[in-house]
Structure 1
Amino acid sequence: MARPGGRRRVSCFVVPIEARDAPARLALARRSGRIPLVLDERWPAEVRVGVLSLLSQTPAPAGAHWAALTSGTSGAPRVVVRTDASWAKSFPAVERLLGARPGDIVLLPAPPSSSLTLFSLVHALTSGPAPELAATSSRATLFHGTPTHLAAVLASERAPLLRAALVGGMPLPADTRAAALARGIRVVEYYGAAELSFVAYDDDGRGLRPFPGVEIAVRGGVIWARSAYTALGYLGGPGPLRRDGAWASVGDRGRMEGGRLRVAGREDDAIQTAGATVIPSELERVLRTVDGVADAVVVGLPAPGVGRLVAALIEPAHPGAVDAATLRAASARLFAPAHRPRLWFAGTIARTSSGKIARAEVERRLASGEVPRV
C-alpha cells in the first residue's frame, strides 16, 4: 500500500522454484500497489534476515514498480528497483528477436528470484509468452535462462521442441550454441545486468551488437550503456551501478572489435599479480576450449610478495579427464607467462541458484583447502 508522502516499501514473498502461481502472485501484488520481491527459499537464514531487514527499513524511490535481486556472485545480493517502463520498453524487441507467436510457452529453469526469470514473468503479465517454471518441459516452445540451464535442457531425456532460446547471465560456450542449432533452435545470446537490463545481443554467433534501443560506449576499457532500460538504483547502500548523465555502467570491462562488443569481466574481478593485471573471463574462455575441460573459473588467491596468485578451478568433463601436466602444457601454449594459472584445482564449480558462477564461494573453497589440487 502507498504510504504517506507516496513512499512505498518493497514487499517480499517466497516462490518455490517450480511454483506455477508466480505470475498470479506478481499480478496481485501489482494490483494492490505493492512492489514485489521474490526471495529464494534455499537461501541461508542470515542472507534472508539481511534482505528482510533492508526491506523493513528502506522506502522505495518514487516511480519504482519492480524489485529484483542481483545474482550474488560476488557477495550478498543487492535489491535493484526499477520503473515499469524500464522493462516494458524492451518487450517488443525481445519478441522480435525470439520470433514470438501467440500460444508460445517460455521455459524458465532459473528460480523466480533470478532477475532474468522475473523479467519473463513480468513480460507474461502483458503480451509475453506464457511462463513454464521448470527444469524442462515437453510443452515449451521458447527458452530464457543461462547457458548452464540450456545445456541441461539439451541433455535432458525430456528435452522440449524449442524454437528459440534467449540466453544470458554468463558467456555462452560455442558447443552449447552448436548443440542448440543442430536441433533447429535459434539462439539469441545477450549481455546485460540486473541494473542495466539488456545491453547487447548476439543472434549469429559472431559477437555482441548493441541491443535494440541501446547505445554502447567503451571508456578506458569500461562498458557504458545509454538506454531506457536502466534501473533506478538500489535499496539501501551503494552498488556497482554508476551514472554519467544518461549513461550508466556496472564496471564491466570490454572493448569494441569491428562493431562487436567483447566483454572481459567486472573491474573488481581483475587479478593483480606480480605487476600484471589478469582478467579472469579471458582466461576462462580459453580454458573451456581445452580437451577434457567442461568448465573453468579463475580467481586470485592471496600470496605474499606478488599480491595474488592466479588460480584455476577446472570442472572435468568426466573423472580423470584432466591432469596437471596437460593443464600446465595447455597454459604454456595459450597464455603469456604473467597470465598463466599458478595453482590448479579440480572439482565442481559453485554456482548461484540461477546457474552463474559464484566467484566469492569458489575463492573461499579454494583458499580453505576444500577443493583438491591437481
Structure 2
Amino acid sequence: PDGPQALLYTSGTTGRPKGALLPVRKGFFNAVNAQEFLGLDPGDRMLVVLPLFHSGGLFIQVVPALYAGASVVLRPRFDAAAVARELREGGITHFLAVPTVLRRVLEAGGPGCLAGLRACGVGGEPVPPDLIGTCLGAGVEIRQLYGQTETSIVLWASAEDLRQRPGTLGRPVRHAEVALGRGGEIRVRGPTVFLEYWGDPELTREALRGGWFHTGDLARVDDGGYWYLAGRAKEMYISGGENVYPAEVEAVLRGHPAVADAAVVGMPDPVWGEAGRAFVELRPGAPATAEELLAWCAGRLARFKCPREIVFLDALPRTELGKIRKEALRAFGKATSP
C-alpha cells in the first residue's frame, strides 16, 4: 500500500508544476472518503470532463466510481452545451467540476440540467458565492470540495452546510487529519497524502516537515468545526506594512454583479512597497468601469486591502483545469508597469 501508484503533476497556478508521487493507499482511502461526500452506488453514472492527468479527474472521480462499481462516462473534450445535454438526458447521477467549467455548463443549460444529480461537486479553486447561490436556489445537491494533488479531498461541505454557513469549506473527511499550523496554515496527514515530489528531496522535506503536509493555504475554524479559507500564504503581499490576502479581495470583486471572475496579485509600488493589481473578467453584456469597481471595494474592504488598479481582460489566463494562472498575471503586470 505504500508503494507508488501514479506520478501526477500539480496544476502550477503559482509557479512551476511539481511531480507528486502518489501511493497505492491513496486510491483506496480516497475512494472510501468519496463515499462520504459523493455517496456512490453500483447503479450510478459519473460524468467526467476533468482531465485524467490531474488528480481531480482520476482520483476524485474515476477511481472512486470504479471502486463503487459505478459507471464512468468520459468526454474527449469539454463542450458546455454537450455536457449540459448529457446531464439532462444521459442518466448522469454525479458530476464534478472546477468553478469555471460549472459556470459554463449552467450558462449553456441552466440550473435545471443539474436537477437530476444526486451529487454535484465543485472545487479546485475558491468558488464564487453567486455560483453556490445559483445551485442552492435551484435545489441542486451541491458539494463544496477542498483538497490538493498531494492530499486529495480532505474537507467537504454539503448543500445544507452551505445554506447554513455560506463560504465554508466544510469539515474533514473521515480518513484525513486536518489541523491549523503556524499562522493559520492548513496541515494534513493521513493515508491519502503523497509520498514525495519527484526528483526534489529538498522540496519534499519542506512540504512534509514534522510529519504533516503543509498546504500553503490559510484558514480559520469556527466553533462547529467548519473550515473557511482565508488565503494562500505564498500569494500574500504587504502593502504599507499590512498583510493583504488576495482571496479576500477577489471574493469582494466577484460579488459585483458585472464581474465574472477576478484575480489579485501584489505588485511593487514606490509608496506602499507593494500594492494590489486586480485583473477582472466581466460578464458578457455587463459593463463596469475601474472607478466603479474600486468604489465597490472601498465600501467593503479596509483601505489598505483595496486594489490600487483594475485591469480588464477578455479572459483570465487559465490552466487546462480552468484554474487562474497567477504567475502569468504577475509577468503581464511587470511587462505593462510604467
What amino acid is aligned across from residue 94 of structure 1 in structure 2? A
Structure 1 position 77, deviation (Å): 1.4
Asked whether the equivalents of residues 46 and 72 of structure 2 are also in contact (C-alpha less than 8 Å), the reply is yes
Q: Deviations over 1:40-76 (max 9, x none)?
A: xxxxxxxxxxxxxxxxxxxxxx711112110110122
What amino acid is aligned across from residue 96 of structure 1 in structure 2? E
Distance (Å, rounded) in 2 between the aligned partners of 1:320 and 1:151: 16
Distance verdict in 2 for CA 1:163–1:183, change over 3 Å: farther
Partner of 1:149: 101
1:280 to 218, 242, 246: 246
Partner of 2:64: 123
Matches within 5 A, 1:32-181: 63-119=3-59, 120-127=61-68, 129-134=70-75, 135=78, 136=83, 137=86, 138-139=89-90, 140-157=92-109, 159=113, 161-181=116-136
Partner of 2:208: 243
Gaps of 5+ in 2: none
Asked whether the equivalents of residues 243 and 249 of structure 1 are also in contact (C-alpha less than 8 Å), the reply is yes
Asked whether the equivalents of residues 87 and 197 of structure 1 are also in contact (C-alpha less than 8 Å), the reply is no
Asked whether the equivalents of residues 68 and 118 of structure 1 are also in contact (C-alpha less than 8 Å), the reply is no
Structure 1 position 281, deviation (Å): 0.6
Structure 1 position 308, deviation (Å): 2.1
- Relative to structure 2, which stretch is displaced further, 225-234 or 313-322? 313-322
Distance verdict in 2 for CA 1:179–1:337, change over 3 Å: closer
Asked whether the equivalents of residues 46 and 65 of structure 2 are also in contact (C-alpha less than 8 Å), the reply is no
Q: Deviations over 1:58-103 (max 9, x none)?
A: xxxx711112110110122111011111231121231232232223
Distance (Å, rounded) in 2 between the aligned partners of 1:164 and 1:321: 34
Partner of 2:327: 360
Distance verdict in 2 for CA 1:249–1:128, change over 3 Å: farther
Structure 1 position 342, deviation (Å): 0.2
What amino acid is aligned across from residue 235 of structure 1 in structure 2? W
Partner of 2:186: 223
What amino acid is aligned across from residue 117 of structure 1 in structure 2? G
TM-score (norm 1): 0.77
Asked whether the equivalents of residues 110 and 149 of structure 1 are also in contact (C-alpha less than 8 Å), the reply is no
What amino acid is aligned across from residue 169 of structure 1 in structure 2? G
Distance verdict in 2 for CA 1:202–1:340, change over 3 Å: same
What amino acid is aligned across from residue 194 of structure 1 in structure 2? T
Distance (Å, rounded) in 2 between the aligned partners of 1:286 and 1:226: 32
Of all paired residues, the percent bearing the same amino acid is: 32
Distance verdict in 2 for CA 1:326–1:88, change over 3 Å: same
Task: Describe the SS at the equivalent of 1:126.
Answer: helix
Partner of 2:151: 196
Asked whether the equivalents of residues 163 and 184 of structure 1 are also in contact (C-alpha less than 8 Å), the reply is no
Distance (Å, rounded) in 1 between the aligned partners of 2:138 and 2:298: 36
Q: Deviations over 1:97-121 (max 9, x none)?
A: 2232223221222222221002123
Distance (Å, rounded) in 1 between the aligned partners of 2:261 and 2:69: 33
Deviating above 6 A after TM superposition, structure 1's stretches of 4 or more consecutive aligned residues are: none
Asked whether the equivalents of residues 31 and 63 of structure 2 are also in contact (C-alpha less than 8 Å), the reply is no
Task: Describe the SS at the equivalent of 1:156.
Answer: helix
2:219 to 254, 278, 295: 254
Partner of 1:369: 336
Q: Deviations over 1:114-136 (max 9, x none)?
A: 21002123334433533223331
- Relative to structure 2, which stretch is displaced further, 315-324 or 125-134? 125-134
Partner of 2:301: 335
Structure 1 position 189, deviation (Å): 0.8
Q: Deviations over 1:249-279 (max 9, x none)?
A: 1221112122221112321111122211110
Asked whether the equivalents of residues 258 and 283 of structure 2 are also in contact (C-alpha less than 8 Å), the reply is yes
What amino acid is aligned across from residue 156 of structure 1 in structure 2? A
Distance (Å, rounded) in 1 between the aligned partners of 2:27 and 2:229: 23
CA-atom RMSD, angstroms?
2.3
Asked whether the equivalents of residues 293 and 316 of structure 1 are also in contact (C-alpha less than 8 Å), the reply is yes
Asked whether the equivalents of residues 65 and 82 of structure 1 are also in contact (C-alpha less than 8 Å), the reply is yes
How many equivalent pairs are there?
310
Q: Deviations over 1:304-336 (max 9, x none)?
A: 353322111111123452112211211211111
Q: Which structure: larger Rg?
A: 1
What amino acid is aligned across from residue 248 of structure 1 in structure 2? F
What amino acid is aligned across from residue 219 of structure 2 in structure 1? G
Task: Describe the SS at the equivalent of 1:290.
Answer: coil
Distance (Å, rounded) in 2 between the aligned partners of 1:269 and 1:169: 16
**Per chain length, whose mean CA-contact separation is higher, i.e. which structure has more relative contact order (CA < 8 Å, sep 6+)?**
2
1:293 to 242, 251, 259: 259
- Relative to structure 2, which stretch is displaced further, 269-278 or 169-178? 169-178
Partner of 1:47: none
Task: Describe the SS at the equivalent of 2:67.
Answer: coil
What amino acid is aligned across from residue 360 of structure 1 in structure 2? E
Gaps of 5+ in 1: 1-61
- Relative to structure 2, which stretch is displaced further, 292-301 or 234-243? 234-243
